[in-house]
Amino acid sequence: MSTLDDLDKRLLKELLRDSRRSYRELARRLSVAVTTVINRVQKMEESGIITGYPINIDYEKMGYELTVLTEISVSKGKLLEMEKEIAKMPSVCAVYDVTGLMDAMVIAKFKNRKELSDFTKGLLSMPFIERTNTHVVLTTVKEDFRLAEAL
């Protein structure tokens, strides 16, 4: 599936709002047949556009008081290897290659300072990580990676 038409985009927006809705409800909201919705969803799943149906969680309400953005500098061409290891860590939400003075950016969440300290010390003990620079988020104004506006 190379391009999305208007119906595909509208369907994706509906799924982003609430992916628990039935095909029948989606079809009613989009004024199309249920089989159309089923076929469109299956095609987007098969093509890799839809990769899952996650829920959204308020992590602060679950006790994760700290969100951090950590910049990482890696030596000796080991960036991809280090990123794969970092991505396996349970507190890590995102890992990015970035341009600029640092090589990678990590977004992670922690329940307390000790968890953050252990994470940071763990990063610095990894081979080929030269340095880190951690930014602690003071206030989360928006945190939502669902881009319905892009559709």
Q: What is the pLDDT of residues 20-65, one digit of tens each?
A: 999 999 999 999 999 999 999 999 999 999 998 888 888 899 999 9
Beta carbons of 146 and 16 less than 8 angstroms apart = yes
Closest of 42, 9, 10 to residue 28, by C-alpha? 10
- The residue type of 37 is V
pLDDT of 12: 93
Distances (CA, A) of 75 to 117, 119, 122: 22, 19, 17
pLDDT of 64: 94
DSSP structure class, residue 131: E
Contacts with 16 (C-beta within 8 Å, 6 or more apart), sequence order: 146, 148
Closest of 76, 87, 98, 77 to residue 123, by C-alpha? 87
- Looking at mean pLDDT, say which of 58-67, 75-84, 108-117 comes out highest: 108-117
What percentage of the chain has pLDDT greater than the value 70? 96
**Confidence category of residue 145, pLDDT binned at 50, 70, 90:** confident
Which residue ranges form the domains of the chain, and what is each CATH number? 6-46 (1.10.10.10), 59-136 (3.30.70.920)
Task: Inform me whether the pLDDT recorded for 3 exceeds 90.
Answer: no
**Confidence category of residue 2, pLDDT binned at 50, 70, 90:** low
Task: Inform me whether the pLDDT recorded for 1 exceeds 60.
Answer: no
